[in-house]
Structure 1
Amino acid sequence: MSALLEIKDLNAYYGKSHVLHGVDLVVNQGEIVSLLGRNGVGRSTTVKATMGQVNASGSIRFKGEEIIGLKAFQIAHKGLGYVPENRDIFPTLTVEQNLILGEKSGKKSRWSLNDMYKMFPRLKERQHTAAGVLSGGEQQMLTLCRTLMGDPDLIMIDEPTEGLAPKIVELVAEYLKELKNRGISVLLVEQKLAIALEISQRLYVMGHGSIVFEGSPADLKANENIRKEWLEV
């Protein structure tokens, strides 16, 4: 398996506050990897630093190329997609306009509008509706699909199931499996252990800005101490 994203000795800061302490993490080609941990331990900072949105030092290699120090738009153009936690949609534009904005100019995408509508029929029903009036679940679907329209090779998704109804959570899990089927790698920041265990090939657990565990879902299920100390509320 070849590594698509390799993070080594990543340190990140907000002002003088040292948030990440030597994080090492790998996502291989066609793999779903989950980054777990309680709120405030540095999971979101890890993906923001990878996307060039936080001051960081260390090494972040994507497709073998060092990307630390690049701007977010340059990183996106290299094929790294990012779905932030705050569902960044354009509220006054329609669903379809939001999706079209996700396309990269001059690049033939693996994905079409029809693919999005097939995955989330609800978006097709709402294609001419202003995105700002969609429900939280619909906005989450739209954000996920808009990022996909840019045809990334790896997509980092921050808390996609936060605050969603169980039925929508199932849809998001199906979406993630569909990405894997199409050879797209996923780095998932998630609090719901059940989803992470179901869809991931490997998991990392974070505590106090460092990685405290790495292994398969079976390894994590077997390791009660790690779950109790770093995951359970």
Structure 2
Amino acid sequence: MLKVRDLHAFYGKSHVLRGVSMDVPKGSVTALLGRNGVGRSTTAKAIMGEVAPKGDIWFKGENISGQPSHSIARKGLGYVPENRDIFPMMSVRDNLLLGIKDMRKPGKWSIEQMLDMFPNLKSRADTAAGVLSGGEKQMLTICRTLMGDPDLIIIDEPTEGLAPKIVMQVGELIAEIARAGVSILLVEQKLSIALKIAQQVYVMGHGEIVYHGTPDEFRARDDIRREWLEV
């Protein structure tokens, strides 16, 4: 579904990504782990065309490296950024409507489905999105991306700053998305969520992939966890 090969990215003269290669198979959940500042979010932005990439990014057999973000999104690649970009003055329902790519063609997900999955959002469907809690805004952002009917969705730090109860709800939503057949690249720090729902794990360090394996294989590698994840 998604193949990244020898991906490099820069912020000015700072060389952030240094030859990242990874695969996200169709219908799978792939977790990208690592400490803050190692390049995980930059990887997501480079794939989506928000940071100029150098290297090859193949999505559904097409090299999308360097294409504009709106073109990449229309090909079926969804993106949930870590800053939870919503339109605060617009209602929850209108935020969801903005995620639809083609109003003439119904997708896999409907607004009512999204609202039924989250009673908190349903009760505030006609409320300005800016008054939602952090967890509700995160759910809204994920649901809005789903309204675009993506084949693969990149979710960047979905549980950052959320209460434990909301973290579990977000984890359940991601698992539900995966069960519906949407491939997921999950950028996450919380191992409890990532290892529970992912089929494979990549660990980043200093702009490079330093480990790749299954969750069970990763659990047996205390050395990797100590060197690249623990503070």
Query: By the TM > 0.5 criterion, same fold?
Result: yes
How many percent identity over aligned positions? 63
Instruction: List per-residue Cα deviations over 1:91-127 (Å, max 9, x = no partner).
Output: 0000000001110124321000111012211110010
The 5 Å alignment of 1:56-75 reads: 56-75=53-72
Match of 1:88 among 85, 89, 109: 85
Match of 2:99 among 87, 93, 102: 102
Give the deviation of 1:56 after TM superposition.
1.2
Q: Indicate yes or no: 2:187 matched with 1:201.
A: no
**Separation in structure 1 between the aligned mates of residue 46 and residue 192 of structure 2, nearest angstrom:** 26
**Contact kept? 1:14, 1:55, Cα under 8 Å:** no
The aligned counterpart of 1:162 is 160
Provide closer, same or farther for how the CA distance between residues 15 and 111 of structure 1 changes in structure 2, counting only shifts above 3 A. same
Q: Indicate yes or no: 2:214 matched with 1:216.
A: yes
The 5 Å alignment of 1:23-172 reads: 23-105=20-102, 106-172=104-170
**Separation in structure 2 between the aligned mates of residue 194 and residue 170 of structure 1, nearest angstrom:** 10
**Separation in structure 1 between the aligned mates of residue 65 and residue 43 of structure 2, nearest angstrom:** 12
Counterpart amino acid of 2:4?
Answer: I
The aligned counterpart of 2:176 is 178
Gaps of 5+ in 1: none
**Separation in structure 2 between the aligned mates of residue 115 and residue 200 of structure 1, nearest angstrom:** 24
The aligned counterpart of 1:191 is 189
Instruction: List per-residue Cα deviations over 1:12-70 (Å, max 9, x = no partner).
Output: 11111110000001000110000000000000000000000111111000001000110
**Would you say how many aligned residue pairs link Structure 1 and Structure 2?**
230
SS at match of 2:158: coil
TM-score (norm 1): 0.97
TM-score (norm 2): 0.98
SS at match of 2:8: strand
**Separation in structure 1 between the aligned mates of residue 191 and residue 8 of structure 2, nearest angstrom:** 26
Gaps of 5+ in 2: none
Counterpart amino acid of 1:176?
Answer: I
Counterpart amino acid of 1:49?
Answer: A
Deviates more, 1:206-215 or 1:106-115: 106-115
CA RMSD of aligned residues (A): 0.7
**Separation in structure 1 between the aligned mates of residue 151 and residue 208 of structure 2, nearest angstrom:** 26
Instruction: List per-residue Cα deviations over 1:150-208 (Å, max 9, x = no partner).
Output: 00000000000000111111111111111111100000000001111111000000000
